[in-house]
Each structure stands twice: as structure tokens, then as C-alpha cells.
Structure 1
Amino acid sequence: MAGTLRLLFLLLLCWLGLSQAVQAQATTAQADIVLGRAAFPVNEYFTISFRLRGAPLERYSPFPDIEGFKKSSKSSTTTTRIVGGQSTTELSITQRYAAYAEGTFELKPFTMTVNGLAVQSVGATLQVGPQQAAPTGPAAGSGAVQGLGLLDKLFGKPKPQDYVEPRDNAFLALVPDKTTIYVGEGVHLGLYFYLTPSDQGLLSFYDFGGQLPKIVQLLRRRTAWEEPFDEQEIVPETVTAGGKTYLRYRLYEAQYYPLNAQPLVFPEVALQMIKYKVAKTPEAGLDNRMESFKTYRSVARTIAVKPLPPHPLRDLVPVGTYQLREAIDRTTFRTGQAFTYSFVVEGEGNLAALAAPVPLLPAGLEVYGPDTELGITRQAGRVGGSKWFRYRLIARQPGVLALDSVFSLVVFNPTTSRYDTLRAGVRPVVKGASPAATAFNTHPDDQFYQEVLNTADNTVQRLDVYKDTHRYANYILLALAVLAAFGWWRSGR
């Protein structure tokens, strides 16, 4: 009996610890909704975004539908900040909406679920004005896109019938945007399912959530850095291939950055779909369809990888189309004063793996840091963003501080096949310290010490000047001790 009670007590403690851990994880995650401008021209997009902080994205509910608008593309942005060794990440996913016409529209209050968190929006009144430039909205006829294949049986179990399997024009494809790349250069790979509009009633997705992890596992390469796109909704987009119109479903996409010169070989992947057979003799009141399965396979793809041209730092050079943007809190200051300098790398490339530039310190300069902030945007098959390196500097010598000799970063541009150097361009001026600050760094509001320091005698004193003071202090303490002893003796009598 005692052993059973002890076991029940241990199980209770484990359950309480697990529930507290789940609650702690739930409280760390935060999400909110951000709406775009409420007034905009008809040829611009309205946007709805949600931001997630404190947890990786696991799932989210679909974005709301807006009457008078059609959903367009989506984009995701990940911002990572590293300050004092502490890392925080914020993910933002944005849905774009294209208005069909000018006018006033109502976005009703709605609720989205992000990682199980219910996030609410009060809605807005949207004012769509006349266009200001050439239309950039969705292609004509794209508003007629419907969902793919309904599975419901309208009138119960069908009667025995003879069925035939119609021919379809659907196919599964792995589509890279390049066939040859350099080591470190990104290649976008998309897995798409194509079908003609007439095939919509014949095909439907089957257990896609269960098939996707196996497909992704086959596409991952040990010799490449993978940046997946944060897309979960599978919606069709109208494309033209070979003079024929297709509905294209984006199933998975990622950016791959090869780590060495080995080719990137992506094997064929398979996707099982529900395909309906149709009755030879349709009958009124029956579904006239029967479910069957068909497996579609993609063609394997190989991406050739070229080594970088010879360079002393070839194995350490980041690859991408980068440019430098700088920031400094001020351009003129005094010696001993700390200031902040930001070395910002922007463009397309593997920013997550981009290392901070190593400063070359001249005499009289101290550099601390950096703190790092990474912002990555994945949109339209491209990955780009910016990476901030914030340094704190203290100059000990006056003069012009040439930061171009302190901060630089060698990069390889795959577009031009050349090495470039991103070099600092700001040249702050360092002045000498003020006379008061040279003697003692006082607070500017402390008037007493300012006056004392400004009027203090600066005559050179002997090194043993304080020995006499020490001797006189000992005499005074001895006299006080004698006086105290005499008083105690008189009081005792």
C-alpha cells in the first residue's frame, strides 16, 4: 500500500511539472496582427500580417477573406536579434489582397490562431481610390479559381455502376531557378503540382500533411544549407506553360546554399492523389464518381556547383549580391567617449551564415561587440534581407578616425563572378578631452566639484607630504584616548 501511494505521488509530481512547462512555453509565445494602410489606390495591395515572438511557427489558421478583394501572394520575414549573448526571434507572415474595383469596403473583425494562440483584430474600413500607375494587380480571369476537388458524397452510397478513368493533364515537378551555381550561391527549388482547370473535378489532395514530411526529408542535402519558406496554405495560381493554362499548387519551396563543390542531386519524389473515376452512364440523383488513387512522380534534378575563383580567403568569403549600409550615433566626439557604429550588410545571399567583420585595431582604439540583428525576407522565390553588426568604440587619441582601415568585409558576387570589398566609409572626428574631464570626470550638474576642480592648486607637492599629516593625526588620537581614560577614572571615583 505504501509503495502504491509513493508511485501515485511521483506521477502527480511529474504531471504538475509537465503542465507547468507547457504553460510556461505558452506564456513565452506572443502574437499580434498588423493591418496595412486603410486608404490606398486600386493598383496597390492591402496587407494583413501576423507577428510571432518567443516560439517557432508550428501552424496558423488561414487569413480572412475580404469581400471585394482577392488573395494574392504571401511573404515571410524573420528577424533575429542577438544582444549581450541573448537571442530573440520574430517571424512575420504577410498576406496581400488585390481590390477588384474602387470604393469603400469593410474588413470585419476577425480572429486568427497562431500556434494555438487566438489573435484578434477589430477590422477596418478600407478606402480604395483610383489607380496611380500602371496596374499591377492579378491577371484577368484569376478570380475564377476554385478549390480542388470536393470529397463529399451528395446523395449517399452510389448504386452499382460501370466507371472509367478519364485521362488527366496533371503532373508533379521539381523546378530550380538555376542549373549551375557557385559554392555558397543560393538556388531556389520549388515543388509544384500542375493541372488544367478541367482536371479540378477529377483530382483531390490525399493526406498531404502526412506525405509532405517524407518529401522534405528526401529533398534535404547534407552538403547544402537550407532556408525553407514559411508557407502552409496550398492555393492555386494561374500560370501558362507551353501555350497551355495550368493551375499551379506550390507544395514546398526552399533556398539551398551548397557548402562545397559537390553537385546538388535532388531525387524524384512521389505524391499520391485522389483521382475520381466517372460513371459510363450518369444517373440523376447519384454522384456518378468513384474514388481511386494515382501517384505522380517528379523528375530528378541535378545542380552543378562550381568552386570559387582563387583568393586567399576563398573558404571564408560570403557569397551573394551584397551592399553596405552604415550607421553611427554621431560624427564628432572627444577621446574616452564611447560611440556606436553599425556595419549593415544588405542584399540576397545566405545572411544567416554571414560572419561579422573582424576589426583591425590601430593604436588608441578600443572596440567591443558586436551585437547582431538578422532580418530575412522570403518572397517570390527569393531570399534576402539585412544583417546588422553593432560595435561600441572608444578612441583614446584625437584626430580623424579612419574606419575604412578598421572595418571591411570581402564578399564574392556570383552575378559578376568577382570579389568585392565592403569597406566602411564614415570618418568621425575625435577631439581631445576637455580640461575638467582630464583631471576628473564629473557630472555636468555638480556645480560644487566643478568650482573646486577649476580653482584647485596644481602646485607640485613632495611625495612624503602626507607623512607629517599621518603623524599629527596619531598625536591627536593619542591625546583623545588619554582624555577619555582620565574621564572614565574620575567617573569611577
Structure 2
Amino acid sequence: MRFLLYFLAVVLPAFLWVPTAMAQGTSASRAEAEIELGKASFPINEYFTISFHLRGAALERYSAFPDLEGFKKSGKSSTTTTRIVNGQRSSELIITQRYAAYAEGEYVIKPFTMTINALTVRSGGGTLRVGPQATGPATPPSTGPLQGIGSLDQLFGKPKPQEYVEPKDQAFLALVPDRARIYVGQGVHIALYFYLTAEDQGVLDFYNFAGQLPDIIRQLRQRTVWEETFDEQEITPEAVTVGGKPFLRFKLYEAELYPLNTQPLVFPAVALQMVKYRVAKKPDPGLDNRMEGFKTYFSGAKTVTVLALPPHPLRDQVPVGSYQLREAIDRTTFRTGQAFAYTFTVEGEGNLAAVNLPAPAPREGLEFYGPDVDQNLTRESGRVGGRKSFRFRVVARRPGQVPLDSLLRLVVFNPETARYDTLRPELRPQVRGPVRETVTFSPHPTDPFYQEALRDADNTLQQIGLYRDVRRYANFLLVALLAIAGFGWWQAGRNR
């Protein structure tokens, strides 16, 4: 009886909760990250790269890429790959930092670590060999980040009174869209920049930028767009020319926006508060010759006009972008009753999330399974593009040519030419063999649609309330066991 009580009180609850604990552990362990180094040998006019891969989780934060001696950081890019297989979605994010070498030679990368979300990832480093370049200009030297100059109080004695003046600066804040007029569904790249001259670096510094940025982004957000943000977390200067004069430009925020209707995109003026130092009118080497103050910079308001697409029967459904079709097929010979894989890939610049291939038109003697969807999105240099693949399994029951061009098609609108295009397959597999009224085929070992469990699964119909009845019987059994345990406990007390 004591054993029964122990079983009901300890073992049974633990048994019932084990699957939940295991599921939680599995979910927590799904996130994976790794670091990948680029080629170890390359000419000086090519970049060396360091990338990290994040799978199974959304990017929340990551530490800075390492600084390499003899190299300057030269921009980053991010690529997101999304796969949908049997309704299960998986994604992988790759962020790549490019490095430009200052001179030829051999360089040693020391081991380093990066923190990606809550994961600490280590790289063992390596040795790089930078060779001579064939053609191309040399990489310009790096310009250091915007920094203030530290100060110390006078060490001895009371500081003398100082008279400070506010120097003039040529800095300004600007929101820059790359287009003034776009079509519905066409992307417009917006970026918020802060410009200043080299002379302004000594009197300007960022102030609580992390605290100001969320409110700035909130004001710039548009309610009628699909937004693709760039995974950029480091603010580094780049040398540009404005009106024939050199400036340093800091990119504070950027995104690609795809309007969903003809409502104009209206961006209000936003403010950025900076630290601005006043300088002593008569500098004294024994005194602090700067006094901290603040100055607020405002961007100009901007409006982007959104145009309706030209008339078309499918105007509200067509994706907008500069797209091309890439096809792939997994074999060269085709027999009736045998499955082959056909991949319809849309490639180019545009909102790939809006690209949805219509279902194949039904045709007697042909069976289509799928598709598997694989999306690879790249954000780099102010552009968003990539490819989206639709992979089908096709079975022909009758011999002859498979007219894929009449079964699959995608109408797109090209905003550069302002015309509608239709992407149609050009492959026409020729199927040979006898007519097969019923088709059975073995799943391809690498095909994610057809697993061994599917082939061996029991397809016997079950009653709708079967699992409800099982739960009811289990509850009755549990109540009966508890009653027996209570009676045993009472009986043991009487015998004492």
C-alpha cells in the first residue's frame, strides 16, 4: 500500500510532466550561432569577411565585430533565409562585416568571441595573406568615430574665470529617401544621416543616442507599408561630399518601405540632441578650455508620392519588383508514375514576402505536391533583394510533354519599365512509359515532403471523439486509484 501511495504522489505526476519539460528544453536549445571567417588568401583589392550565422531565434542584440590590426571596417550586410516545409517555418540570419586591408603582407587574427543574443561564440582566429592587386584604386584610410575630447580639472589652485564662446558648426541632420515617387508595392529606401565636417568633431558629440533613437523611429514609422529594417547596430562615419565640400556622414537609421496603398508617405521633421562644447575665448593651458552644452538639430520634413498601378485584371495581387525566373529540375529522364522535383525561383529586387505563386492549374494525368517555399533575403548597400523558391513534386500518369508553361505562371509589375510581365517556365519535360491510372511511388530519400513515418502511417479513420473518450476513462481510472489509496491509508491507521 505504501508503494501505491508513493507511486500516485511522486512517480505518476513526474511521469505526466516529463514531456512538457522536454519540450521546453528543446525549444530553448533550438537557437544556434556560429562564426565564419572569409578566405585566408586574397588580393588587396578584395575584402576579408567575418560573418555570424543565427538559427532558430530572432536577432535581439549582438556585440561588435572585432577590430583587426592592419584592416579597416568597410560596411556590413545581412541575409535572411526563410524555409517553409510541411507548414513548418525555419529561418537563418547571416550578418557579414567586410574588412579592407591597408597594405599587403601577412596578418594574424587573434582568437576572439562574440555575444549573439545570449549565446557566446568563439573563433580560433587564423593567419591572413594579402597579395598584390591587379587593378583598382587603393582603399582610402579610415576616419575615426565621432568622439569628444576628455578634460581634467585644474590640479592645484582655484581655476581662473573663463569667457566661453560658441563656435559655428556646419553639421546638419537629414532624412534621405532614394525616390520621390513610387508605385504601390515598390520599395523606397530611407536613411537618417547626421553630417558634420572634420573641424566639427572637436566640438560635437553624441548625447544619449540609445535613448533618443526609439522615439525618432516611432515618428518615422508609416502605418501603410511593409517594412524591412537593416540589422545595423554600429554607427561609424563614412566620407562623403556634399555641395563640393567633404563631410563625415553617420547613418543613424535605415529601412526599406513597400507601400500597401496609394496613401502618401509623410515623414515629419525629427530632432536629435547633441553635445556641443563652447570654447574658451582666451585658452589657458592650465585650465579647462571647453564647457559642455547642448544643441538640437532638426531634419526637414519629407513626402514620398505613391502612384497606383496601371489597370490590370490582377492589379491587386501582382508583386512589384525587378524579377527574373530561374528554373531547376532534378533529373533528365522522366517515366510515368515516377515523381520528379521542379523548382520555380523568383530572383531580383523587391518585396519577396509579397511573392506568392498561384497553385498549378489542374490537368488530367498530372499530380502536383507542395510546394516547399525557401526565401533568401539580402539587405546590403541600401538594397533589399534575393530569391524565393517554390519546389514541387510532379507525377505524370500519361506519356507526353508536361506543359509547365501553361500550368505555372506569375504576373509581376516592373516599376522601372512601368509594365506587367509574366514569368513562365521554359522547361518542358518529355515523359515516357505506359499510361498509369493509379500511381504509387516511393518517396525520395532527401525529399522533405515524404518521410518514412508518412509511408508507414496508419490511415484508418478514427472517431472524432476518440481522444475525448480516452481522457474521460483516464480520469475515471485516476479517481479509482485515489479512492483505493485513501481506503488503504485509512485501513493502515486502524491497524496501528
TM range (shorter): 0.7 to 0.9
Matches within 5 A, 1:25-64: 27-64=29-66
Q: How many residues align?
A: 420
Q: Name the counterpart of 1:95.
A: 97
**For 1:309, what is the secondary structure of its paired residue?**
coil
Deviation at 1:28, TM superposition (A): 2.5
Q: 1:29 to 1:48 in 2, by over 3 A?
A: same
Q: Quote the Cα distance in structure 2 between the aligned partners of 1:257 and 1:131.
A: 40
Matched, 1:352 2:350: no
Deviation at 1:155, TM superposition (A): 3.9
Matched, 1:84 2:86: yes
**Moved >6 Å (runs of 4+):** 19-25, 437-443
**For 1:209, what is the secondary structure of its paired residue?**
helix
**For 1:325, what is the secondary structure of its paired residue?**
strand
Q: Name the counterpart of 1:115.
A: 117
Q: 1:23 to 1:156 in 2, by over 3 A?
A: farther
- Match for residue 146 of structure 1 among 132, 144, 149: 144
Q: Name the counterpart of 1:126.
A: 128
Deviation at 1:408, TM superposition (A): 0.7
Q: Name the counterpart of 2:16.
A: none
Q: 1:441 to 1:342 in 2, by over 3 A?
A: closer
> Structure 1: any 5+ residue segments left out of the alignment?
1-18, 444-493
Q: Name the counterpart of 1:453.
A: none
Q: Quote the Cα distance in structure 1 between the aligned partners of 2:282 and 2:183.
A: 58
Q: Quote the Cα distance in structure 2 between the aligned partners of 1:117 and 1:325.
A: 37
Q: Quote the Cα distance in structure 2 between the aligned partners of 1:439 and 1:380.
A: 50
Q: 1:336 to 1:108 in 2, by over 3 A?
A: same
**For 2:294, what is the secondary structure of its paired residue?**
strand
Contact 2:399 2:435 in 1 (8 A): no
The CA deviation string for residues 51-92 of structure 1, in whole angstroms up to 9 with x for no partner, is 111111111111111111111011111111111111111111
Deviation at 1:133, TM superposition (A): 3.0
Q: Quote the Cα distance in structure 1 between the aligned partners of 2:289 and 2:378.
A: 47
Q: Quote the Cα distance in structure 2 between the aligned partners of 1:440 and 1:243.
A: 71
The CA deviation string for residues 186-240 of structure 1, in whole angstroms up to 9 with x for no partner, is 0000000000011011111111111111111111111111111110000000000
Matches within 5 A, 1:255-270: 255-270=256-271
Q: Name the counterpart of 1:474.
A: none
The CA deviation string for residues 436-485 of structure 1, in whole angstroms up to 9 with x for no partner, is x9999899xxxxxxxxxxxxxxxxxxxxxxxxxxxxxxxxxxxxxxxxxx
Q: Quote the Cα distance in structure 1 between the aligned partners of 2:236 and 2:330.
A: 46
Q: Quote the Cα distance in structure 1 between the aligned partners of 2:50 and 2:422.
A: 39
Q: Quote the Cα distance in structure 2 between the aligned partners of 1:344 and 1:297.
A: 44
Q: 1:156 to 1:379 in 2, by over 3 A?
A: farther
Q: 1:441 to 1:33 in 2, by over 3 A?
A: closer
Contact 1:111 1:121 in 2 (8 A): yes
Which moves more between the two structures, 43-52 or 389-398? 389-398
**For 2:283, what is the secondary structure of its paired residue?**
coil
Q: Quote the Cα distance in structure 2 between the aligned partners of 1:439 and 1:81.
A: 29
Q: Name the counterpart of 2:408.
A: 407
- Which residue type is aligned with residue 374 of structure 2? E
Q: 1:219 to 1:439 in 2, by over 3 A?
A: closer
**For 2:29, what is the secondary structure of its paired residue?**
helix
Q: Quote the Cα distance in structure 1 between the aligned partners of 2:36 and 2:153.
A: 44
Q: 1:408 to 1:64 in 2, by over 3 A?
A: same
Q: Quote the Cα distance in structure 1 between the aligned partners of 2:154 and 2:88.
A: 59
Q: 1:146 to 1:287 in 2, by over 3 A?
A: farther
Contact 2:270 2:298 in 1 (8 A): yes
The CA deviation string for residues 283-322 of structure 1, in whole angstroms up to 9 with x for no partner, is 2243321111111110011011111111110110100000
Q: Quote the Cα distance in structure 2 between the aligned partners of 1:38 and 1:218.
A: 44
Matches within 5 A, 1:205-354: 205-354=206-355
The CA deviation string for residues 327-351 of structure 1, in whole angstroms up to 9 with x for no partner, is 1111322212122111100000000
Q: 1:441 to 1:390 in 2, by over 3 A?
A: closer
Contact 1:336 1:433 in 2 (8 A): no
> Structure 2: any 5+ residue segments left out of the alignment?
1-20, 444-496
Q: Name the counterpart of 1:6.
A: none
Q: Quote the Cα distance in structure 2 between the aligned partners of 1:156 and 1:364.
A: 92
Q: Name the counterpart of 1:481.
A: none
**For 1:200, what is the secondary structure of its paired residue?**
helix
Contact 1:331 1:429 in 2 (8 A): no
Q: Quote the Cα distance in structure 2 between the aligned partners of 1:439 and 1:247.
A: 67
Q: 1:237 to 1:26 in 2, by over 3 A?
A: farther
Task: Indicate the RMSD between aligned Cα atoms, in angstroms.
Answer: 2.4
Q: Quote the Cα distance in structure 2 between the aligned partners of 1:113 and 1:425.
A: 47
* Superposition TM-score, scaled by structure 2 size: 0.81
Q: Quote the Cα distance in structure 2 between the aligned partners of 1:379 and 1:47.
A: 14
Contact 1:331 1:427 in 2 (8 A): no
Contact 2:189 2:254 in 1 (8 A): yes
- Which residue type is aligned with residue 67 of structure 1? E
Contact 2:256 2:384 in 1 (8 A): yes
Contact 2:402 2:430 in 1 (8 A): yes
Contact 2:336 2:435 in 1 (8 A): no
Matched, 1:423 2:421: no
* Superposition TM-score, scaled by structure 1 size: 0.81
Q: 1:357 to 1:178 in 2, by over 3 A?
A: same
Q: Quote the Cα distance in structure 2 between the aligned partners of 1:23 and 1:276.
A: 53
Contact 1:149 1:202 in 2 (8 A): no
- Which residue type is aligned with residue 149 of structure 1? Q
Q: 1:332 to 1:442 in 2, by over 3 A?
A: closer
Contact 1:47 1:94 in 2 (8 A): yes
Q: Quote the Cα distance in structure 1 between the aligned partners of 2:440 and 2:405.
A: 33
Q: 1:295 to 1:438 in 2, by over 3 A?
A: closer
- Of all paired residues, the percent bearing the same amino acid is 64
The CA deviation string for residues 407-442 of structure 1, in whole angstroms up to 9 with x for no partner, is 11000001111110110111112112599x999989
Q: Quote the Cα distance in structure 2 between the aligned partners of 1:204 and 1:440.
A: 71
Contact 2:225 2:259 in 1 (8 A): yes
Deviation at 1:21, TM superposition (A): 10
Q: Name the counterpart of 2:485.
A: none
Q: Quote the Cα distance in structure 1 between the aligned partners of 2:242 and 2:25.
A: 50
- Which residue type is aligned with residue 248 of structure 2? L
